[in-house]
Amino acid sequence: MRTVALLLGVLVSILSAHAQAATEAPPVAAPAAPAAPTAPSAVPAPAPATRETSLPFRLGLFYSKAFGQSGNLALGPAPAALGVDIGMGIGRSVRYHLGIANEWESRGGYSAKGFRLDLVSLGFPIPVVNSEGLVVHIEPIARIIRGEILFPSGQGQGALFRIESGFAVAVTAAVAHWFVAVEPLSLDFRSFSAFTAFGGGTTTGSSHLWWYQITAGREF
């Protein structure tokens, strides 16, 4: 009997252990750590837009002299002029020139002084050298309107008016914003002349004048 009771006690202990294990909840796994965010792939920055810049503003002092002329409107002495040239860029390929000068001419007992106005002149610079510190251009120039107002001495209150147009080719060298421009050959066509003294008169025709000019100044 003692043996049977011992066996029954062992069996009860085993069944109790199994029942307790079945009722215990299984351990809950810890949640996985969130994945680290992936860095976005680098997007190449767009190339900066190229901005069109105008030619630099120029202010120069020039001297010009006519050395040859012919025609019915160019019978007087060859004139000379000293003045200021203002150059303003129109985009990257055109430069507007405005010239204001003191002009004079004399021969024998005749002399006249006055003003020369280059109202509309357009230059088209062509770069030929663009190295560090040195820029060289060849610039064809179309002078559309040039006016002259001269006051001859000894002619009372008379004044002489002339209108010309023409073209030239300038070679310009610029270093550290300072420039020198040489026009070895310039051709003007004079088409109108009027004189107000002693009844005056107006003359039209076609005459030509050959000029040379040198300009020195600064770019801004």
CATH number, domain at 128? Answer: 2.40.160
Residue with the larger pLDDT of the pair 75 and 7: 75
Read off the pLDDT of residues 3-35 as tens digits, 9 standing for 90 and up: 545 555 655 566 566 556 555 545 555 555 555
Residue 90's domain spans which residues? 58-219
Closest by CA to 117, choosing from 104, 103, 101, is: 101
Q: pTM, whole model, 2 decimals?
A: 0.74
Read off the pLDDT of residues 151-198 as tens digits, 9 standing for 90 and up: 998 766 789 999 999 999 999 999 999 999 999 999 999 999 998 876
SS3 call for 124: coil
User: Using CA atoms in the order 205, 210, 214, 219, what is the torsion angle rounded to 10 degrees?
Assistant: 50
* Residue 16 within any structural domain of the chain: no
User: Using CA atoms in the order 212, 180, 82, 77, what is the torsion angle rounded to 10 degrees?
Assistant: -10
Counting residues of the chain whose pLDDT is more than 70, the rounded percentage is 74
Q: Which residues pair with 192 in a beta bridge?
A: 163, 204
* Residue 82 within any structural domain of the chain: yes
* Residue 153 within any structural domain of the chain: yes
Amino acid letter, 199: G
Tokens of 119: 């109202």
Domain count, the chain: 1
